[in-house]
Amino acid sequence: MKNKINIAVVGLGQIGNYLMNELISKKKDIELKTGKKINLVAVSAKNPNKKRKFKINRKIFFRNPLNIIKTKKIDILFEAIGKSDGISKKIVVNSLKNKIHVITPNKALISKHGDYLSKLAEINKVNLEFEASVAGGIPILKTIKESLATNKIHKILGILNGTTNYILTEMEKTKKSFSDVLKKAQALGYAEPGKPTLDLNGYDAFAKIRILSALAFNNKISKYKCLMEGIENIDSKDIEITNQLNYRIKLLGITELINNKLFERVHPCLVKKDTYIGNVNGVMNAVITHGSPVGESILQGEGAGAGPTSSALMSDLLSILRGNIKYSFGIPDFKRKKINAYNSNNYLNSMYLRIEVKDKPGVLSQITNILAKRNISVERLIQIPDHKKKTASIVIITHKSKEIDVQSCLKTFRLNKNILKRPTLIRLL
């Protein structure tokens, strides 16, 4: 690689702005550590007149990022627009076809088009780097690709979304409602304005799980329907009850091989308070890998925000500058396989059920009879009456039961007039 490297940055949102400051302020540090000089030759954003901490030379500013490749000689391009399709995909595809290295934090793009883009990078002998797409500043992808490269990984789990982790932590700490804590998260900038659907419904964590699966198990990015639930239905009552039972609620992303079949899922879990993952709070992320011979490995850090994301982007930059030309998913594309999906209906797990009912004789026996008919045995049962409302909360923790049997019970519960609303289901880790 030549000594002077031409760089383009596409997208000047929160992440792009922070990245620009890093590129400008750390030029000497980059040269010291890589022996390469970086030269910012092109920048693209919607608004050239927006007030920023740095000045943009109008000669290198492009409203249309596709024009960069046509008019400038680029060695490395940062894509920081976001979204899986549209201009984001076009600029990355065009860059790779023109033998330009690409660095991106875009998890939506990689989780949807990563197979195609990585193959394109391989054909053109350039890098497609996306460390920042999963868990922000935590170097989990490099850890899997390099540090754990000779290990056989069979399971990865983690807190992969800082917004939801903050909300659940604050609900426990302040005893406030989901909606109140969400407003606070938005005011602090931890959650997007309006309704941050992709965070709350689990899709953000799901996109990251798909990327982790592909790296860990040498498989193509899965297209299977995932067991996916968010935190929108978690009530402060669940926080209070599970806290008394010595549990915390965490939204976890989990991927593992069961009988050589791929099982990916994202959903709230009850985790013991004395476990490591049970004490990862606030906006922090944590990823735990299980492999052989290494055993259990844990990485923790800030998983979102401009600073941690930019740190991962800069790490990818230095990797390329040092001449580390490598496969995007660790191995050649033709060696990556398609793994069959595990049938989630067969998944055995203990469950937490909270059922709001009319407080009258016979209701509890109706519920336990429904469970018994589906071969679901009760490990623990608590009844919490509300005498004023003449209602009760029935809390059940089951022994390990099949997912299909539990879901069948939930359907039956919805038909029971003594059950006041849809029961809450949380799986135990």
Residues of the chain within CATH 3.30.70.260 domain(s) are 346-428
Q: How confident is the model at residue 304 (pLDDT cuts 50, 70, 90)?
A: confident
**pLDDT given for residue 57 in this prediction:** 79
* Residue intervals in the chain for CATH 3.40.50.720: 4-129
Note the pLDDT of residue 195: 80
Crossing angle for the helix pair 363-373 and 403-414, to the nearest 10 degrees = 140
The boundaries of every CATH 3.30.360.10 domain in the chain are: 149-302
Say if residues 110 and 117 touch (Cβ distance below 8 Å). yes
Q: What is the reported pLDDT for 280?
A: 97
Tokens of 221: 């990015």
**Prior bond of 293 cis (ω within 30°):** yes
The predicted-structure confidence for 26-65, as pLDDT tens digits, reads as follows 999 999 999 999 999 999 988 777 777 777 777 899 989 9
Task: Give the span between the Cα atoms of 329 and 117, in whole angstroms.
Answer: 11
Tell me the pLDDT tens digit for each residue of 92-143: 999 999 999 999 999 999 999 999 999 999 999 999 999 999 998 899 999 9
Residue 114: count other Cβ atoms within 10 Å of its Cβ. 22
- Mean per-residue pLDDT over the chain, rounded: 94
The residue with tokens 């989630």 is 344
Beta strands in 194-346 (DSSP E): 227-228, 247-258, 261-272, 284-292, 295-302
Highest mean pLDDT among 155-164, 183-192, 193-202: 155-164
Q: Rounded to an integer, what distance in angstroms lies between the CA atom of residue 98 and that of residue 194?
A: 39
pLDDT at 333 over 90: yes
CA–CA separation, 54 vs 370, rounded Å?
65
Helix axis angle for 162-174 and 178-187, nearest 10°, is 120
Closest by CA to 160, choosing from 295, 314, 304, is 304
Q: In whole angstroms, give the CA distance from residue 181 to residue 198.
A: 17
Q: Do the beta carbons of residue 329 and residue 355 sit within 8 Å?
A: no
Mean pLDDT, residues 308-327 taken together:
93
Using a pLDDT cut of 70, give the percent of the chain over it.
100
The upper half-sphere exposure of residue 392, i.e. CA atoms within 13 Å in the direction of its Cβ, equals 17
61-70 average pLDDT score? 92
Among 13-17, 277-281, 390-394, the minimum mean pLDDT is found in 13-17
Task: Tell me whether residue 2 is one of the annotated catalytic residues.
Answer: no
- Average pLDDT value for residue range 229-242: 94
Catalytic choice (208, 250, 335, 358):
208
pLDDT category at 19 given cuts 50, 70, 90 is very high
pLDDT of residue 46: 82
Q: Which of 47-61, 179-193, 376-390 is predicted most confidently?
A: 376-390
In whole angstroms, what separates CA 283 from the centre of its chain? 13
The answer, yes or no, to whether residue 190 has pLDDT greater than 90, is no
pLDDT of residue 191: 83
Distance CA 143, CA 145 (A): 6
DSSP string, 279-298: G--TTEEEEEEEEETTEEEE
Write down the pLDDT at residue 128.
98
Helix residue spans in 10-64 (DSSP H): 14-25, 27-34
CATH 1.20.140.10 fits 149-302, yes or no: no
Domain formed by 4-129, architecture: 3-Layer(aba) Sandwich (3.40)
Q: Is the pLDDT of residue 420 over 90?
A: yes
CA distance 424 to 426: 7
Q: What is the pLDDT of residues 146-163, one digit of tens each?
A: 999 999 999 999 999 999
Show Cβ contacts of residue 343 under 8 Å, excluding neighbours closer than 6 positions.
261
- Within 8 A by CB and 6+ apart from 42, the residues are 7, 8, 9, 60, 62, 68, 72, 74
Fold of 346-428: Alpha-Beta Plaits (3.30.70)
